[in-house]
Amino acid sequence: MSRGVRGFFGRSVPALRRCCAPAARCAALFLAFVLVAQTSYAMVFPPSKSALVWLPSGLTLALFVIAREVRWVPWLLVIVLAEMAVVTRHGLPLHVAFAWGIANGLLPLSAALIIRRFAAVPFALCRVRDVLLFVGAGAAAAIPGTLVGAASAVAWLSMPSFWDMAISWWSSDVLGIVLVAPLVLACATRHPRPSGSALEALCLLAALLSVGWLVFGGNASDRTRALSYLVIPFTAWAALRFGIRGATLATIVLDFLAVWQTMEGRGPFAGTGGSAAARVLEVQLFIVTVSLFTLLLAVVVAQHLEARAAAERAEDRAEFLSSASAALSASLSRDAILTELARLCVRRIAHLCVIHTVEEGAMPCASVAHADPSQEATLLRMRGRGAPDKCARQPAALVLGTREPLLLTELGCDEHEHDAMLGAFGVQSSIAVPLVVRGRMLGVLTLYATTPGQPYGPPDLALAEDLARRAAVAIDNACLYRDAQEAIRAREEFLAIASHELNTPITSLLLAVQLLKANVDGPLERIERLLDKLPLVERQTKKLARLVDELLSVSRITAGRLELSLSEVDLAAVVRGAAERFSEDLARSGCQVTIRADEDVIGRWDAARLEQVVVNLITNAIKYGDKRPIEIAVGGEAGTASLVVRDHGIGIPADRLPHIFARFERAVSARAYSGLGLGLYIVRTIVEAHGGSVRAESTLGSGSTFTVELPRASPPAVEAAHRG
Ligand code: ADP
């Protein structure tokens, strides 16, 4: 089939189905109504014009209770028409048929309204309370229809007594409700599987027919009414072993047998004398009592079974979650946890599992698993581990946006066409839950179910959410552990470098001091020669002081004690002063410095800290400047001041550039260049504390440019802290 043709049918078949389904439902209701009404007319005993048991009342009530409200109006119309068709066929005038149609429509409508008011939707006979509500609502809802029906019968059919007619109408409606509605409701709603087997069901049917025949089928004169109680153990058997459906079916079988035999003049109720109607009414009342008893017993059993199943499910769930927690916390590697999580899911709650992680704005697929390991290669090919997901309509992408769990119970052709993976594996429904911990989104866990007719439901969603919570904690722990390990490694590396860096000037100072001490009493020329070493001592002391200053600044920053003391400062003057102080170092390094500064670049800054920024940038330019010229530019616009330090030295590798402003980060080998990896960190922290920014541009081998931008007025919070 070509794509175009498939596309046409793919779209038009559901549309066709959408149009035809309501019409088909109305036609089915019309036929069912006519069929059960005709059956009821078999129980009309003249001179009464109405049936002894009105079975359509049970059918329509059950259908209205189950259906959505939008279907009520067309169905009311169908009921009126069907009733008119049946009644006119029995020779009654059209206006009576119409009035009775209205009466028949009023019953299910009022019953459904009462039940909707007091019970949850969808209504099911699952608790004793539901049965009582349903019978009570049925009995009350039968009243309006009864009044309309009886009034029209008295007015147009010359019925002698309104109340006789009303009572017989109401009782036939209630009998119909109790006999038929529970079966329809039980068939239309989900109930636990019956514990009895097919063979047992056949035995039960045989036993029911035999005992029914024994009780209701014999000669009326031989039968006592006490014999009729023999049916109770068999209906109880149906209730205990075959649930609500079995119980209602058993009582209907018995009812038909009993009514049929009683009408034939057989059984315990046939010998009571009186009219045929009185005898059938008596047997109906007996059956209704047995039906209600059986139904209540079945509901109690179903409630008990449901509670036991729920307890088993909860136990099962708790066991799964506790073993999942143990498995997830067995490793401190994030990747191992993600793999284990996917495995756990396909072992228990999914056929396919895909886990996406959130990383720097992208959402790569971190782990996949399939219940059938031989399919995993195909799944990997389709989802591509590590590749970011492009499909914005995927459950994971939706959850990433909303951070809310998602349950998709029906994935149709549309979704399958959109996402090849869903079609390839025949995915029926899916669940996507966020992996969130401490308010941070770590990723999304998506589960797919492929068994037709068994979509995911709210309990699966709750289980997935619980699992995702535990997994998120395990992943977070692994990440924290990794960060802690990295921090420890960085600290150890820093301690090694710092001790080396501090040791070098100290050794050099110690040597100089020892030399001075050894020669303090020596000849004057030697002392003069020793005095030549003083500049070296000074340099080493300055270096030592700078290192200690860097360490102090960092410890202050880490402890959150970087306080700014603001005043009017001229940035150009600070730069010139620093360059002056470094003239000796600059001369020794062979770097030419050019300063281009605007007049009076004044702002409210911390002078000492600003000097630290300038010094750190100039020191780096000298250190990494490769003896080439250094250009410093100071400028100012209305609200901002800028400082640019450019060198033409070794440059910075592109992959290291984003990291150089972080603590302990270095882009050179410790052997080639001394340093603690703190200078730029201090620069960034001071600049940001003033509300400014710093950035670096660099080309490896061609030099680097550092640009600092500062607001001339410090942010209000800084000013307030300064005044405070
Ligand atoms: P340190 O210079 O003590 O290593 P910094 O924090 O001052 O620490 O600098 C961090 C890293 O950035 C340096 O190790 C170096 O690799 C790189 N870097 C800084 N300034 C320059 C520059 N002007 N040219 C080339 N690389 C630089």
pLDDT digits (tens, 9 = 90+) for 646-661: 999 999 999 999 999 9
Going from the Cα of 359 to the center of ligand 1, the distance in angstroms, rounded, reads: 28
List all residues whose CB is within 6 A of at least one atom of ligand 1.
616, 620-621, 624, 647, 649-652, 660, 665-668, 675-681, 704
Give the SS3 label for residue 668.
Answer: coil
Q: How confident is the model at residue 106 (pLDDT cuts 50, 70, 90)?
A: very high
Angle at 310 between CA 305 and CA 311, to 5 degrees: 100
Handedness of CA 246, 249, 255, 260 (dihedral sign): negative
Residue closest by Cα to atom 2 of ligand 1: 675
Residue closest by Cα to atom 11 of ligand 1: 666
Residue 425, pLDDT above cutoff 70? yes
Residue closest by Cα to atom 3 of ligand 1: 675
The answer to which of 17-21, 84-88, 189-193, 225-229 has the lowest mean pLDDT is 17-21
Going from the Cα of 651 to the center of ligand 1, the distance in angstroms, rounded, reads: 9
Mutation pick for ligand 1 pocket among 652, 698, 707 (CB with most ligand atoms within 8 Å): 652
- Mean of the pLDDT values across residues 46-57? 78
First-last CA distance in the chain: 80
Residue closest by Cα to atom 20 of ligand 1: 620
Residue 394 neighbours by CB under 8 Å, 6+ apart = 419, 446
Q: What is the pLDDT of residues 446-478, one digit of tens each?
A: 999 988 878 899 999 999 999 999 999 999 999
Q: What is the pLDDT of residues 111-144, one digit of tens each?
A: 999 998 888 877 888 888 988 999 999 999 999 9
Q: What is the pLDDT of residues 349-380, one digit of tens each?
A: 999 999 999 887 778 888 889 999 888 888 88
For residue 667, the ligand 1 atom closest to its alpha carbon is 16
Going from the Cα of 670 to the center of ligand 1, the distance in angstroms, rounded, reads: 11
Q: How confident is the model at residue 385 (pLDDT cuts 50, 70, 90)?
A: low
Mutation pick for ligand 1 pocket among 615, 627, 660, 683 (CB with most ligand atoms within 8 Å): 660
Residue 291, pLDDT above cutoff 80? yes
Residue closest by Cα to atom 23 of ligand 1: 621
The answer to which of 3-12, 206-215, 320-329 has the lowest mean pLDDT is 3-12
Of 604 and 500, which is predicted with more confidence? 604
Residue 695: predicted pLDDT: 96
Q: How confident is the model at residue 6 (pLDDT cuts 50, 70, 90)?
A: very low
Mutation pick for ligand 1 pocket among 553, 617, 624 (CB with most ligand atoms within 8 Å): 624
CA–centroid distance for 44 within its chain? 58
For residue 678, the ligand 1 atom closest to its alpha carbon is 6
How many residues are present in the chain?
Answer: 724
From residue 724, alpha-carbon distances to 559, 563, 564, 717 in Å are: 19, 11, 11, 10
Query: Residue 153, CB half-sphere, CA atoms under 13 Å: how many?
Result: 25
Structure tokens at 303: 């409630």
Query: Residue 248, CB half-sphere, CA atoms under 13 Å: how many?
Result: 18
The top-scoring range by mean pLDDT among 16-25, 406-415, 448-457 is 448-457
For residue 706, the ligand 1 atom closest to its alpha carbon is 23
- Mean of the pLDDT values across residues 293-318? 90
Residue 417, pLDDT above cutoff 70? no
Task: Answer yes or no: pTM beyond 0.75.
Answer: no
Q: How confident is the model at residue 2 (pLDDT cuts 50, 70, 90)?
A: very low
For residue 682, the ligand 1 atom closest to its alpha carbon is 6
Residue 326, pLDDT above cutoff 90? yes
Torsion of CA 489, 492, 494, 496, to 10 degrees: -140
Residue closest by Cα to atom 19 of ligand 1: 620
